[in-house]
């Protein structure tokens, strides 16, 4: 078994292609490499260079591999998915040029505004909206598979796809596969370890993340936005929450998992750019093989 460890720009407080509160992409890559990661996701499209020659040179100079790209939409809305497909064609064309980049992570739009917490979409979908969502899921699967890449739906906080029931509804009605985010899964009230054991054949890719359920309860009680909750530490450092990562990795060893996992800690904004962010993967001293066999 070989688990290859990557990370993503959101662990460095990057949520947008450009934002004055975000770290420069060159320093972000420098610190990812310094922290010992093997690979990276693109993050928001346009944050890292999106032409092949430039990105390849920057990654090679730091011994980093490209793992995945990420994009999102309101999957129940045809017009939103139309716009997503335009972006996905560019993302997939770039990923296809990298041997290590196999996954396209698909994020459902939140029904709350991440900054203000105000509702921006209905919290519940009608049966007709679910049917549109299923149709659009399969449309996205066909598009991504057409590039030889793997679609990976990423359930998310305050979206229509966050609980285990939501996720299983997708699995039962579409050909979509998953990116299991352990932190968002806890936020949705689930148990990521038992869910992974049940559905691992539909989960080719994973985000390792924690969620502080105490802060989650404060968020609900006080009506915080997701950005406020992130600033308060709702997605705490992996290894400091309640997830039994040893049980998870023991099972991954049992099934012979061979591929990437991406370690994340949602942060925005990071704040003090004079202090380097150095995420350390939990259990790096364990008996498991984190790297090439």
Print the domain residue range for 159: 2-263
Give the number of domains in the chain: 1
**Which strand (E) or helix (H) includes residue 66?**
strand 65-73
Asked whether residue 36 is assigned to any structural domain, the reply reads: yes
Asked whether residue 79 is assigned to any structural domain, the reply reads: yes
Asked whether residue 270 is assigned to any structural domain, the reply reads: no
Q: Which of 250, 252, 220 is nearest to 234 (CA)?
A: 220
Sign of CA dihedral 194, 196, 288, 8: negative
**Predicted local distance difference test score (pLDDT) of residue 1:** 58
| Three-state secondary structure call for residue 82 | helix
Sign of CA dihedral 49, 101, 243, 168: positive
Q: What is the mean pLDDT of residues 183-206?
A: 97
**Predicted local distance difference test score (pLDDT) of residue 206:** 97
Asked whether residue 274 is assigned to any structural domain, the reply reads: no
Asked whether residue 288 is assigned to any structural domain, the reply reads: no
Q: What is the mean pLDDT of residues 119-142?
A: 98
- Enumerate the H helices of the chain as residue ranges: 25-34, 52-61, 78-95, 127-145, 164-173, 182-187, 192-199, 213-222, 226-231, 245-254
Q: What is the mean pLDDT of residues 195-213?
A: 96
Backbone angles phi, psi at 140, to 5 degrees: -70, -35
Confidence of residue 273 (pLDDT cuts 50, 70, 90): very low
Whether residue 120 is predicted with pLDDT greater than 50 in this model: the reply is yes
Cα gap 266→245, rounded to integer Å:
18
Q: Which of 62, 38, 64, 48 is nearest to 9 (CA)?
A: 48
pLDDT by residue (tens digit) across 275-287? 433 333 333 333 2
**Predicted local distance difference test score (pLDDT) of residue 282:** 36
Cα gap 71→79, rounded to integer Å:
15
Whether residue 233 is predicted with pLDDT greater than 70 in this model: the reply is yes
Average pLDDT of the chain to the nearest whole number: 91
Cα gap 72→83, rounded to integer Å:
10
Asked whether residue 137 is assigned to any structural domain, the reply reads: yes
Whether residue 290 is predicted with pLDDT greater than 80 in this model: the reply is no
Q: Contact 226/158 with Cβ under 8 angstroms?
A: yes
Asked whether residue 134 is assigned to any structural domain, the reply reads: yes
pLDDT by residue (tens digit) across 50-95? 999 999 999 999 999 999 999 999 999 999 999 999 999 999 999 9
**Predicted local distance difference test score (pLDDT) of residue 272:** 55
What CATH number is associated with residue 50? 3.20.20.150
pLDDT by residue (tens digit) across 8-58? 999 999 999 999 999 999 999 999 999 999 999 999 999 999 999 999 999
Asked whether residue 150 is assigned to any structural domain, the reply reads: yes
Q: What are the C-alpha distances in Å from 19 to residues 14, 28, 47, 56?
A: 8, 14, 9, 24
């Amino acid at each position: 078994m070989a688990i290859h460890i990557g990370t993503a720009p959101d662990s460095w407080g990057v949520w947008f292609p450009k934002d004055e509160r975000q770290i420069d992409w060159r320093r972000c890559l420098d610190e990812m490499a310094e922290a010992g990661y093997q690979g990276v996701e693109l993050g928001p499209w346009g944050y890292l260079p999106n032409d092949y020659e430039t990105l390849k040179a920057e990654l090679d100079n730091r011994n980093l591999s490209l793992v995945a790209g990420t994009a999102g939409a309101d999957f129940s809305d045809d017009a939103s998915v139309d716009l997503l497909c335009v972006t996905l064609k560019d993302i997939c064309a770039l990923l296809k040029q990298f041997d290590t980049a196999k996954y396209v992570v698909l994020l459902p739009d939140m029904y709350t505004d991440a900054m203000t917490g105000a509702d921006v979409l209905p919290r519940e979908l009608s049966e007709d909206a679910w049917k549109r969502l299923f149709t659009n899921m399969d449309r996205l699967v066909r598009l991504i598979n057409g590039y030889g890449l793997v679609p990976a739906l990423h359930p998310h906080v305050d979206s229509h796809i966050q609980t285990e029931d939501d996720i299983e509804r997708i699995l039962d009605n579409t050909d979509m596969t998953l990116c299991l985010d352990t932190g968002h899964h806890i936020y949705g009230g689930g148990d990521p370890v038992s869910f992974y054991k049940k559905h691992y054949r539909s989960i080719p890719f994973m985000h390792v993340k924690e969620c502080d359920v105490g802060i989650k309860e404060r968020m609900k009680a006080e009506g915080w936005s997701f950005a406020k909750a992130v600033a308060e530490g709702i997605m705490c450092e992996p290894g400091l929450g309640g997830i039994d990562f040893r049980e998870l990795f023991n099972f991954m060893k049992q099934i012979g998992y061979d591929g990437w996992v991406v370690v994340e800690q949602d942060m925005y904004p990071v704040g003090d750019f004079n202090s380097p962010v150095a995420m350390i993967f939990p259990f790096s001293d364990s008996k498991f093989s984190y790297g090439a066999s």
